[in-house]
Structure 1
Amino acid sequence: MDLGPYLVLATLEGAVTAAVLALTAVGLSLVFGVMRVVNIAHGEFFMLGAVLAWWIATSVGGHPAFGFGAALIMAPLIVGGLAMATDMTILKRLDYDPERTIVATIGLLYIIQQMTLMGYGPEARPVEAPFNTRLAIPWFEHGPEGWQMIWPWGLGTTSYKLAVIGAAALILCGVWAVMARTHLGLVMRATQADREMALAFGIPVERVYAITFGLGAGLAALAAVLIVPIQQAHYLMGADPLLLSFIVVIIGGLGSLPGTVLAAVLIGLSDGIISVFFSPTLAKIIATLLVALVLVFRPQGLFGKRAA
């Protein structure tokens, strides 16, 4: 088989990574953009979503679609509610001070991780996909009789992976619609632009912060629910999403949703392609080098605004 089919296969795998990464990174970018809080525990909210998805899916039983559907609704709501409670009980008391909130979320990271280890255990556990039909992908090859369509062995994907890409795109469009077309999005953008002015106009800034923190964590948990039928749930799975999300928001521009999505597509596709042809470690090294170049030549990111 020529290089082309392998490249198509790697691109499809990268697209799945990019879709999940975009959801996770948009949640992190949203929290920083509105609250100016760097949430180090963001990856643990992702992990918690995956673990809750396993617990809910196994508790519901029956056809896998029932358990997965329940997890898709309940896990983000539970994680989002937990994040809102964290904001009101911890971050609010710290007055959202940047340095102290970083330390607090580092502590929260270890608390969530160790409590999950005690309650869930160290094992990696799968969640069965609601559907998982194998789909062969055709390829066109030029031979003695001209162009012919062939079906190379191993060139294919699953219906669930395509559904993950489509679902992530729909959710991201929904996030954009909320931010651009709703009253909630208006007050969030007003708070982001000028906190003191928002307070002067009667906007309940602390309530907006709690909703934003919950929404960011809920998006991470939703991404985890989508990916857990492909990657098994375990208590240490939050590290890679956290690292890649920070890489994405730095490249795209802290607080910039369009930049975050574009950077997620770039990093996700490159991660998938490099991981298939070379190694996942090399993909992470290249992504880190890309961050260094962005910080040197464009510190505000691709779509970020330069500080006045």
Structure 2
Amino acid sequence: MDFGPYLMLAMLEGAVMAAVLALTASGLSLVFGVMRVVNVAHGEFYMLGAVVAWFVAQHVGGGPAIGFVAALILAPLLVGGLAALADMTILKRIDYDPERTIVATIGLLYVIQQVALMTYGPNAQPVEPPFNQRIALPWLEWGDGGLAIYFPWGLSTTSYKLFVIIAAVAVILAVWLLMSRSKAGLIMRATQLDGEMATAFGIPVERVYAAVFGIGAGLAALAGVLIVPIQQAHYLMGGDALLLSFIVVIIGGLGSLPGTIVAAVLIGMSDGIISVFFSPTLAKIIATLLVALVLVFRPQGLFGARAR
């Protein structure tokens, strides 16, 4: 197979990663944008989504499709509810102080991680995808007779990976519509701009914060559900998700949803291509260097507003 089909295959793998990363990072960006809270435990909510998906798949009968649909519904709700409870019982009590919030979410990270280890176990567990048909991909090439379509051996993907990309795009579009076209989004944006003024107008800011923290965690959990049939559920899988999410929101601009999406596509696609042709380690190194360059030359990120 020539270089072109290999590149196309690498880009498809990168698109899957970009889709999952965009979902995870959107939750982190939403929480910071509205609450100005750096949630260090965000990766563990991603891990919980994958673990809940595995648990539901093991205990819900009717085949892998039924278990997967149940996990898609239950995991974001359960993890989002847990995050909202953590906000009301921990973050609210420390008045969302930036330094203490970081320490509190680090503690929450270790609590969630150790509880998952004690209940779920140390081994990675697979989840069967609801559908996984192999789809051959065409390639265009100029030949003696002009432009021709052929199917190179090995150039294929699966129907589930295409579903992950489509599902992530649909969810991100729904989040954008929620933030820009709904009354709930208007309330969140008002709280983001001036919490004290929002309180003066009767907006229950603390409830808004709990809902936003829960939605952010639910998006991470949904990403975990989507990725677990491709990877495997493991109690330490939140570390890479957290690191890449921070990279994305820093590059895109803290609190900027469009910037988060653009940065997720950039990091996901480059990670997929570099991992296929070189190594995953090199991809992480380049992503870290890119963050350093952004912090030096554009500290507010690609789409972030400059601090005044």
Task: Bin the TM-score by the shorter chain.
Answer: over 0.9
AA matched with 1:57? A
Identity %: 77
SS at match of 1:203: coil
Superposed CA deviations along residues 145-180 of structure 1, whole A, max 9, x for unmatched, are: 333222111100000000100000000000001101
AA matched with 2:172? L
In 1, the alpha carbon distance for the partners of 2:140 and 2:38 equals 48
Hey, what does 2:91 align to over in structure 1? Answer: 91
Hey, what does 2:140 align to over in structure 1? Answer: 140
In 2, the alpha carbon distance for the partners of 1:299 and 1:24 equals 22
SS at match of 1:95: coil
Superposed CA deviations along residues 175-227 of structure 1, whole A, max 9, x for unmatched, are: 00110111110110001011111111111000000000000000000011011
Hey, what does 1:266 align to over in structure 2? Answer: 266
Q: TM-score, normalised by structure 2?
A: 0.99
Q: Is residue 2:262 matched to residue 1:253?
A: no
In 2, the alpha carbon distance for the partners of 1:70 and 1:20 equals 19
AA matched with 2:184? L
Q: Is residue 2:124 matched to residue 1:124?
A: yes
Q: How does 1:190-205 map to 2 (within 5 A)?
A: 190-205=190-205
The root-mean-square deviation of aligned C-alpha atoms, in Å, is: 0.7
Hey, what does 1:226 align to over in structure 2? Answer: 226
In 2, the alpha carbon distance for the partners of 1:184 and 1:162 equals 31
Structure 2 gap segments, 5+ residues each:
none
Hey, what does 2:33 align to over in structure 1? Answer: 33
Hey, what does 1:206 align to over in structure 2? Answer: 206
Superposed CA deviations along residues 18-56 of structure 1, whole A, max 9, x for unmatched, are: 000000000000000000100000000000000000001
Where does structure 1 differ by over 6 angstroms across 4 or more consecutive aligned residues?
Answer: none
Q: Is residue 2:22 matched to residue 1:22?
A: yes
Q: Is residue 2:301 matched to residue 1:304?
A: no
Residue 98 of structure 1 deviates from its aligned partner by: 0.2
Superposed CA deviations along residues 87-138 of structure 1, whole A, max 9, x for unmatched, are: 0000000000000000000011010001100000011111111111000001
SS at match of 2:190: helix
Hey, what does 1:10 align to over in structure 2? Answer: 10
Hey, what does 1:155 align to over in structure 2? Answer: 155
In 1, the alpha carbon distance for the partners of 2:74 and 2:149 equals 44
In 2, the alpha carbon distance for the partners of 1:61 and 1:268 equals 34
In 2, the alpha carbon distance for the partners of 1:53 and 1:169 equals 20
Q: TM-score, normalised by structure 1?
A: 0.99
SS at match of 1:126: coil
Hey, what does 1:180 align to over in structure 2? Answer: 180
SS at match of 1:140: strand
Residue 291 of structure 1 deviates from its aligned partner by: 0.4
AA matched with 2:151? W
In 2, the alpha carbon distance for the partners of 1:286 and 1:61 equals 44
Residue 141 of structure 1 deviates from its aligned partner by: 2.4
In 2, the alpha carbon distance for the partners of 1:115 and 1:171 equals 29
In 2, the alpha carbon distance for the partners of 1:176 and 1:147 equals 40
Residue 57 of structure 1 deviates from its aligned partner by: 1.1
In 1, the alpha carbon distance for the partners of 2:57 and 2:183 equals 34
In 1, the alpha carbon distance for the partners of 2:181 and 2:2 equals 47
Residue 307 of structure 1 deviates from its aligned partner by: 1.0
Residue 62 of structure 1 deviates from its aligned partner by: 2.2
SS at match of 1:130: coil
SS at match of 2:147: strand
